[in-house]
Amino acid sequence: MAIKSMHNKNFCNLNAKNTLKEFLKEELLLSNKAIKTSYISKNALQSSLKEKGELYLPHDLLNRSLVNPIYHGPEIEVIEENDIFIVVNKPHGIHGHPMDYSETNTVLNFMRKRFNLSSLGKKGGDYEKGLLYRLDQLTSGVLIYIKDELIHQNLRDSFGQIAKEKTYLAIVNGKVEEELKLEDRLISSGVKGEKMIISEAGSEACLKLRPLYYHESKDLSLVEVSLYEGHRHQIRVQLSNAGFPIVGDPIYNDNYQSGDKRLYLHAYQYCLEVNGHLSCFKAKTADLFCDLLDLNSLVDVAS
């Protein structure tokens, strides 16, 4: 039997298996979850394979967990590269990692194309290969990639200990007049936990809020957020709950306008302590922030 991709003509001869599902599990080492989400019908999965027959499979399934070396997306600033890290300033509106091989507009696509990283071309593992943490698609800023797979796993496992500072900038509605410490409990809600809500049954969430600049005519504040835990949507839901929703937030800002050009949340600085050495990485530019506040530079007010 020959196996082919639906998108190219490369194939290899294989021995027939009893059913397609058995072949996918035993020869391609796909999990039940991968097979279930492959959009192959149940009837096709239970069909018998023929010796010397041809089998066409989705390109994404054959390349599952690989990162496409093609990148189609906005320019990405490389903040720093050393023996351990590659640090970039992620643009707003793109994901950090792809969900399938067909995606070509994520940070990891950029990484594989720009740095020719062999680990992103290997099968196995998850789609977040090398990324130390997640940033929401709508959030911009510092995103850290770890070159070595073993170091990556060790640092991810100990992220709570090595992350000494996680500082974000946000533009919010209203005037923030003083430093605030927000302490809440968060729990996921809605379809597939797509929204976070404040609930006593949730996990502890704490952050500090410091005002940096106020635009009086627009009634907008630029604030610095010191993040502690890093739960999903933590900054967005906590600022909204405190009465200072982030401009451009389609979920947590009741005054969201469809014409808002972005979610104004930016990972400004991350500091990590690895092997006794403190490294701080700063994304000094955030697209559209200065335009909205009529500023010349974010650095001038955030320093």
Whether the CB-CB separation of 50 and 3 falls below 8 Å is answered with no
Residue listed under structure tokens 């027939």: 16
Q: Which residues contact 77 (CB under 8 A, 6 or more apart)?
A: 88, 89, 283, 285
Q: Which residues contact 72 (CB under 8 A, 6 or more apart)?
A: 104, 105, 109
Rounded Cα distance between 17 and 21, Å, is 9
Distance between start and end Cα atoms, the chain: 64
Which amino acid is present at 242? A
**Would residue 136 show up in a list of annotated catalytic residues for this protein?**
yes
Task: Tell me whether residue 85 is exposed, middle or buried, using C-beta atoms within 10 angstroms of its C-beta: 0 to 12, 13 to 18, 19 or more.
Answer: buried
> How many other CB atoms are found less than 10 A from the CB of residue 60?
21
Rounded Cα distance between 251 and 299, Å, is 28
Rounded Cα distance between 209 and 174, Å, is 14
> How many other CB atoms are found less than 10 A from the CB of residue 144?
23
Q: Which of 83, 100, 126, 136 is catalytic?
A: 136
Rounded Cα distance between 227 and 235, Å, is 8
- DSSP character string of 251-272: TT-TT--TT--S--EEEEEEEE
Supply the residues annotated as catalytic: 136
